[in-house]
Structure formats: C-alpha cells, structure tokens
A and B are shown apart, each in its own frame.
Chain A
C-alpha cells in the first residue's frame, strides 16, 4: 500500500526566510510525487510533480522540491517565503501500478509572518 507522511502539522517562518515543508512516502514501486496547496475556502491547486528525471523539480510560485530516493523524501522548499505563501500544503504519492489513485498526507499549515 502507498502512503505519505507529513511530520509537521505546522510550519512558521518569517517573511524572507527559507521555507521547507517535509514529506516522506512509501510505495512498492517507483513513485509519482506531487505537492498541492490549499488556500482558505478553496480547492487544491497543483504546485509541482516528480515523475522521473532530475531530482530537483521546479514548480509554481517559486517553489521547488527535491526527490531523495534513498531517504524516500520529497521535501518542498522555497528560498524566500512570502506572507502570501501562508496556506495548507499537501504532499501526495501515486504508485504507477496502482490505478491512478493518489494518497495524500494529512497536510502542513504554513504561516509566514511579516
């Protein structure tokens, strides 16, 4: 079975500082990995994905994520956080052999203070 863990319920950073949101995964095969962001009272918006190739993936709004197969991690990063990055972030994994289903982490609430 595939699963995702986001070990931090909340991450607080000051504006301008680096932001990291952690994610580890478990799948039987090679994973497809995704990050989504959810703003209050909105649906999830796709940020970035890792399918294959370069371990460093760049996405929307200046976010990037690094795939680390040995540590089974896919941490989301932004070099300089903005107040507008405050939102709920979800990591998700899909086992390509598992019929297109995504498994989501519980989410991490990011608060960026001015």
Chain B
C-alpha cells in the first residue's frame, strides 16, 4: 500500500544500547524528515534528507545518526540510547521529485522508552 510506514511502533530499550528506527515511504518523495515529539515542545526536527545520500542536521541532532542509501528509506539510529531520548518519533516525507506539493506527510510514529 502507498504511504509512509514506521517500525517498530513501540520499543523499550536500555541506556547505552544502540537502537534503529525504520521509515519507509512509497511516494517517491525527495525529502524525508525525522522529528521527536515531547510534551510542551511540539515537534522538533532531528534530521532531514533532501535526496538519497544527502542528509542534514536539525535542531536536536546530538546522539542520533541517519542514512539514506535509497530514496524510500530513512533509518534513524540512536548510537547509545539515553533516558532523555525517551520520546515519540515521527518520520515524514514531502516534495515529490516533480511537482509542487508543499506539505509533509507523517508516519504513525514510534514510541521509544529508554530505561
């Protein structure tokens, strides 16, 4: 089915472990984004990617790593999870390779708990 999917939907891990959150979109959108949602902060941008092999930091990128070897996938890795990274993580995509759609489309989110 077309759309944007995230996996896992829920994850519990321990401090210091490496965790990878997956994101896959079927629209061939050129841009993909990772946000975290925390109470009182709205959504904050972690990383974004303009195309395959092009990534850039957002406002809260410390402790996170991304890659984008294929247009449709944009995994987010927490190299050594900390309790402050407990959050809900949303992946989004937008801006088709051709055309002028302006909005971003969001995945269902991954709720990550770091113990």
Contact = CB atoms under 8 A, between A and B. Distances in A.
The B interface is mostly helix, strand or loop, or mixed, namely strand
Given A100-B95, A106-B40, A44 B90 contact: yes
B48 A34 contact: no
Interface in B73-99: 90, 92, 94-95
B43 A43 contact: no
A100 B106 contact: no
Given A102-B45, A106-B41, A107-B42, A49 B102 contact: yes
Interface string A86-114: 00001000100001111011110000000
B8 interface: no
Contacts of B56: 99
B103 A106 contact: no
A101 B104 CA distance: 10
Given A43-B90, A43-B109, A102 B104 contact: yes
A101 B42 contact: no
Interface residues of A, number: 22
Nearest to B41: A106
B58 interface: yes
A94 B48 CA distance: 14
A106 B50 CA distance: 25
Interface string A42-54: 1111100101000
B105 A100 contact: no
Contacts of A36: 106
Interface of A: 6, 32, 34, 36, 41-46, 49, 51, 90, 94, 99-102, 104-107
Interface of B: 31, 33, 35, 40-45, 48, 50, 56, 58, 90, 92, 94-95, 102-109
